[in-house]
């Protein structure tokens, strides 16, 4: 089939390349002619494993092409996908729909025969109705149908997710459009992909509900991690035990410094705003937004506590800046909260990320960027892991220990073994793994914890003992709010 993809951003470019690889003829339309010229030469503007090779292979096979001219691209097209950005507006919880609506108007000017308009962008519930109305004001209704087809692509694993999806959701209310969509995705039947046909509004809601539920899993295990630290339990063991329940599953149950990226933060805010306007507020989601924002600030406080309560004048090595491994995306990344808070507390930051350095340069002023991980930790008073890149798992920890001025490692992703770090002489601080190791040995004044909480001695003899714990107490006293 001939398919047009409007938008060569993350979703549009990955979807276009993958649809071409399924055997369709795909034309990707991008208004930025400089970007089009670069794509034609095989220069990919985003970091995504395998994408460059996929684009080049399908260009060579004449299944994928790029243009800035929608008129030529749309000629004889069976389906036109809208995959433009819907960034957050200044108003909290609002998505900027102007690019989607502009695309709808452009499409209306080029439709000749029956064409399926597929909204791939993440849009608020009811947006497909708006797209249908905009096009319908210019084109007879029998010449087009609007379909919702949300994406569920994980950055860093997007090609795998497209080719082996958990499900393909298609919100369609026109039988002709249903047949076109069935033919587009028919090649995925070989991998037994579940194709779910729903109403358009249900499809739009599925996208938000799925993302927000995953964000809730992340936030839940972070809260459990905090509790584990207080009662001397190991959140990794807890997470595994909980995740083995087939009703729950292990994914997104890894504790860390909070969720970021282009989807979860924006989608939780959009859904909470939409729910309030519909007079059906979702209190759980409203709370998780607050908890996630507080989480990132708490991680900065954890670093300060690991450095004996002050980072003034200290050199802190930050390993990982992107919101997750496998991408150069830094939108809403925890590092954008943690690093500035450490700077405000007096720290000098040197950082390294395998893919995010170019992006970080403009987002983190005052941060020294190192060329390699070992350069980053050289002469630092503490090292902090924010993003769990495999490169950091494979570091020579003896070399890291020797490079540091102080043997302090704050691992906000639990990528190292407590036993290994202890044997190498690190003061090792991790997430949700109790007081088995360094919080106790680094701060001997902290009393033993049990399932009943702080011992009577700790409460009565050291009322300020909470300052040596990960997050509780009056943190303004150590220089950061």
| Numbers of helices and strands, H then E, in the chain | 20, 16
Rounded to whole angstroms, the Cα distance separating 99 from 16 reads: 18
Rounded to whole angstroms, the Cα distance separating 232 from 229 reads: 5
Would residue 263 show up in a list of annotated catalytic residues for this protein?
yes
- Who contacts 257 (Cβ-Cβ below 8 Å, separation ≥6)? 295, 296, 299, 334, 338, 386, 412, 413
Residue 431 gets which letter from DSSP? Answer: S
Tokens for 211, please give them: 């993302």
Rounded to whole angstroms, the Cα distance separating 462 from 223 reads: 25
Rounded to whole angstroms, the Cα distance separating 390 from 254 reads: 15
Beta-bridge mates of residue 88: 95
* Closest to 225 in 3D by CA, of 299, 282, 161: 299
CA 325, 415, 308 angle in degrees (round to 5)?
Answer: 110
Catalytic site residue from 18, 263, 307, 430:
263
Asked whether the beta carbons of 356 and 422 are under 8 A apart, the reply is no
Helix (H, G, I), strand (E, B) or coil at 244: coil
Residues involved in catalysis:
263
């Amino acid at each position: 089939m001939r398919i047009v993809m409007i938008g060569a951003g993350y979703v549009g470019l990955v979807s276009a390349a993958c649809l071409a690889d399924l055997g369709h003829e795909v034309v990707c339309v991008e208004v930025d002619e400089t970007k089009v010229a670069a794509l034609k030469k095989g220069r990919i503007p985003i970091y995504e494993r395998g994408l460059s090779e996929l684009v080049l292979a399908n260009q060579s096979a004449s299944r994928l092409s790029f243009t800035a001219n929608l008129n030529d691209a749309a000629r004889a097209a069976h389906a036109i996908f809208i995959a433009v950005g819907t960034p957050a507006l200044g108003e909290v919880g609002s998505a900027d729909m102007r690019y989607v609506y502009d695309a709808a108007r452009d499409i209306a000017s080029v439709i000749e025969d029956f064409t399926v308009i597929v909204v791939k962008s993440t849009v608020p519930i009811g947006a497909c109705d708006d797209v249908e109305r905009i096009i319908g004001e210019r084109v007879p209704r029998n010449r087009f149908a609007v379909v919702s087809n949300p994406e569920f692509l994980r950055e860093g694993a997007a090609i795998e997710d497209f080719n082996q999806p958990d499900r393909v959701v298609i919100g369609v209310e026109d039988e002709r459009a249903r047949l076109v969509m069935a033919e587009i995705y028919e090649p995925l039947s070989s991998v037994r992909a579940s194709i779910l046909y729903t109403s358009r509004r249900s499809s739009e809601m599925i996208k938000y509900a799925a993302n927000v539920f995953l964000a809730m899993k992340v936030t839940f295990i972070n809260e459990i991690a905090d509790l584990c630290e207080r009662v001397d339990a190991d959140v990794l063991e807890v997470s595994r035990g909980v995740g083995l329940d087939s009703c729950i599953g292990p994914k997104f149950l890894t504790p860390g410094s909070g969720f970021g990226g282009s989807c979860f933060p924006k989608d939780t805010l959009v859904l909470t705003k939409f729910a309030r306007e519909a007079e059906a507020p979702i209190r759980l989601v409203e709370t998780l937004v607050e908890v996630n924002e507080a989480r990132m600030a708490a991680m900065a406080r954890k670093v300060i506590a690991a450095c004996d309560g002050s980072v003034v004048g200290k050199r802190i090595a930050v390993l990982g800046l992107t919101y997750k491994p496998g991408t150069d995306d830094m939108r809403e990344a925890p590092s954008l909260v943690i690093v500035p808070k450490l700077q405000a507390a007096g720290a000098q930051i040197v950082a390294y990320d395998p893919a995010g350095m170019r992006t970080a340069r403009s987002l983190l002023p005052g941060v020294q960027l190192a060329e390699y991980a070992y350069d980053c930790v050289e002469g630092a008073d503490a090292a902090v892991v924010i993003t769990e890149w495999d490169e950091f798992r494979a570091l020579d920890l003896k070399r890291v220990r020797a490079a540091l001025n102080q043997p302090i490692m704050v691992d906000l992703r639990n990528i190292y073994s407590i036993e290994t770090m202890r044997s190498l002489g690190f003061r090792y601080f991790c997430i949700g793994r109790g007081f088995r190791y360094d919080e106790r040995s680094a701060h001997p004044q902290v009393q033993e914890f049990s399932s009943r909480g702080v011992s009577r001695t700790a409460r009565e003899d050291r009322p300020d003992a909470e300052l040596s714990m990960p997050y509780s107490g009056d943190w303004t006293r150590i220089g950061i709010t």
